[in-house]
Structure 1
Amino acid sequence: MTLDTSPLTDRIDHRALRAFRRTLPSAVRPKLASVVLPFVFLAFPVVFLAMVLKGVGFDRVIGDFSSSSVMFLVPVIAMPIIAIALLVRALRSRNGVRQFRIDGFARANSFSYVPWSKGPQLPGMIFSRQGQSSAYSTDVVSREGEPPVTIANHTLVVGSGKNRTVHRWGYVAIRLTSPLPNIVLDAQKNNEWGRPALPVALSAGQRLSLEGDFDRHFALYCPSGYEADALYLFTPDVMAKFIDNAAAFDIEIVDDYLFLYAQRELSTLDPDLWKQLLSVVEILSQRVRQWERWRDERLDAEVAGWTGGVVPNSARREGVAPQGRRLDRRAEWWWVIGGILAVIGFYNLFKDIL
């Protein structure tokens, strides 16, 4: 397809930008008061210091300065500098330029655009986590058609206060015509120290080795008993396309979706990234159409039990049997082992010192 990326880089009509800003939700463009008040609070120490210096006399204060006085004033001076940096960042986030450009790009290419979306309710592994306090997607660019496609950025917050952890992902969601077994391709390129970048740990017993050099690029996981189905879906030509075009992404097939995941924003102002993503989508969409013929024989076996062993075409069921709908996950013990080793190390260190 011919992609028009000019709205991502062209000069902006500021009158149109002002009108567009008024349509943005508060989650994207908070009220000005919520931005300015923290700045005023952090800038107060400077005002207070200026009043003190004026009252006491600047020359006298400078003459009486000691090193301890200087150290005392460092945080007082640093706070307004931090405040100014935060204010500039907040004002830039409120100007709506990013959203305006991506919205223009979406409209120029017959896509729809949503700047912020709560949730969303999608079945992929990045969209929910135990203990999450909030989850939302931003810069959601979608296309209806064959197949429907969504590209967006996702933020998931787990816990609160000091225990608050923020997880950010970019994702591509391709809607399939029928449900498939839960299959995960862990990209080897983005692993660190041999540890997968996936947000969940999968049982090693579900890993399936494929022919050729596919294993050098991806670790494939499929539900136990679905090995033959995975081999049917990932024929050599499909594997080659994934290696050539999607080796930088972790991939999950779950229910009737195919997801590409990256630990960075994918809905951006980068024209080259958009060209790459939509090229990958087009190539993979053509290949996964052959998956429409797949049927879960376990469901047909249930029908055969009711019909005396004969399964007419009209009675064939679409979907996936319960045992194939989700992969088994395992607990991660690396942090427990690391904590034990750290305790043992500190114990031996103190023992040697004493």
Structure 2
Amino acid sequence: MLKTDLPQLTAYRTTLAEAGKKLFLSWVLYSLGIVVAVILSYYLIPVPASGIMVALLLLLALFIPAIRNRLRPLWVQGVAKRAFAQQNSMLYLESSKPNYKKHFQPAVAKLGFFERNEQIVKGELGGLPFEMYAHTFRQLFARRYGRKVIQVYSVKLPKELPHIFMRNRQAGSKHLSSLPRHFDDDQRVSLEGNFDTFFTVYTHRRTITEALSLLSPNVMEALVRSNTKFDIEIIGTRLYLYSDNYLTTAHELDEALRSLINVAETFEHRLKSWRFVLPNNQHYPYLVSRPGFGTVALGHTYFNQAWLLIIWYTLYSALKITAKPELWPVKVGLVIFFDALMITVLLVLRRRYQLSKRNVGR
């Protein structure tokens, strides 16, 4: 039986409000500093457009890490989490690079570039090892500029479980899902009752039987009752809850911790009479994401056409080089470089596509 005592949130609530006021004041002072600097430079520096130049320099100061971190809204949450960790005798870390085991990478891993776990709090929740952090990353062609943030809440379960991902579909959620992660449809499992209206469940082909036995009707009912707007993932001995809130209020943190401990308690009751055993010499069967549009297009659909394009480019370049033999050393080097680059990209995308389809049936 898990301990149902939740961590105290008094320090988090008060510190969040105070840090929010400090952030607002910092932006006001920074804006006033820009205005004053522009006015003074206009009168003191006898250079045309000097005010604009000074304003641009001050705006570029936002790219200095110390200033940028102090002025971004996520700083407020970091201050509040530090106070939360101190009040509940937990460990607080400012940031660290994600470090997951090869076959036990959660769904937040490798979602983009420059990944980082920030504002990490480690301790115990309900008697289980607990960890929460903000997973930040950047994505190409994202609608919103800046680092995308996924709030992660995790506990370590006493037994190893199959890889199961439950995507939240409740109408009351802000979004249908917290993660920009898409799994192959042939890993999707349909469960009895109306559970599919609340969650879309994914598991590996080889663990469908285990997943169905684990997600009994009582467990499904408890999951629907205890979880409102979080995606749930089980991988190995770890239970994860995901939220896409950029900033977490005290009420949202309380809701997340309650949901996490309720879901963990639900599975702990089930684990008393349940065991997951892998056959000898078999890797842990993990879920595989659906390959992206570029991987499918160049690695599969238009793979042959891309090869023909490379061949056509090489022949066309060869004809141009023969027309001007005096430039052939430079031109040949450029053609070889671009050919090697395009062939490498094409083969990498082909390999990624093949691995994504092959791993589904592992």
Matched residues, percent identical? 20
Aligned twin of 1:51: 44
The alpha carbon displacement at 1:205 in A equals 1.0
The alpha carbon displacement at 1:139 in A equals 4.2
Unaligned runs of 5+ in 1: 18-35, 57-71, 303-319, 338-354
Aligned-partner SS, 1:278: helix
Deviation string 1:140-174 (CA, Å, 9 cap, x unpaired) is 243277321112211124579xxx97331101111
Of 149, 160, 180, the match for 1:199: 180
Of 1, 4, 8, the match for 1:4: 8
The alpha carbon displacement at 1:256 in A equals 1.5
C-alpha separation in 2, matches of 1:104 and 1:248: 26
Aligned twin of 1:283: 262
The structure that has the greater radius of gyration is 1
The alpha carbon displacement at 1:91 in A equals 4.7
- Contact 2:184–2:290 under 8 Å retained in 1: yes
Unaligned runs of 5+ in 2: 20-28, 298-362
C-alpha separation in 2, matches of 1:286 and 1:336: 41
Deviation string 1:217-245 (CA, Å, 9 cap, x unpaired) is 11001111322211111111211122122
In the alignment, structure 1 residue 274 sits paired with structure 2 residue 256: no
Aligned-partner SS, 2:180: coil
Deviation string 1:18-42 (CA, Å, 9 cap, x unpaired) is xxxxxxxxxxxxxxxxxx99x9999
Matches within 5 A, 1:1-354: 1=5, 3-10=7-14, 46-51=39-44, 79=56, 91=70, 99-121=78-100, 123-129=105-111, 132-143=113-124, 146-157=127-138, 166-189=147-170, 197-265=178-246, 268=248, 270-289=249-268, 290-291=270-271, 293-296=273-276, 298-299=278-279, 302=280, 321-322=282-283, 325-333=285-293
- Contact 1:133–1:159 under 8 Å retained in 2: no
Cα RMSD, aligned residues only:
4.8
Deviation string 1:37-70 (CA, Å, 9 cap, x unpaired) is 9x999986654432368x99xxxxxxxxxxxxxx
- Contact 1:140–1:153 under 8 Å retained in 2: no
Aligned twin of 1:22: none
- Contact 2:168–2:198 under 8 Å retained in 1: yes
The alpha carbon displacement at 1:263 in A equals 1.2
Aligned twin of 1:350: none
The alpha carbon displacement at 1:76 in A equals 6.4
Aligned-partner SS, 2:95: strand
C-alpha separation in 2, matches of 1:254 and 1:294: 16
177-186 vs 84-93, greater mean Cα deviation: 84-93
Structure 1-normalised TM-score? Answer: 0.61
The alpha carbon displacement at 1:336 in A equals 8.8
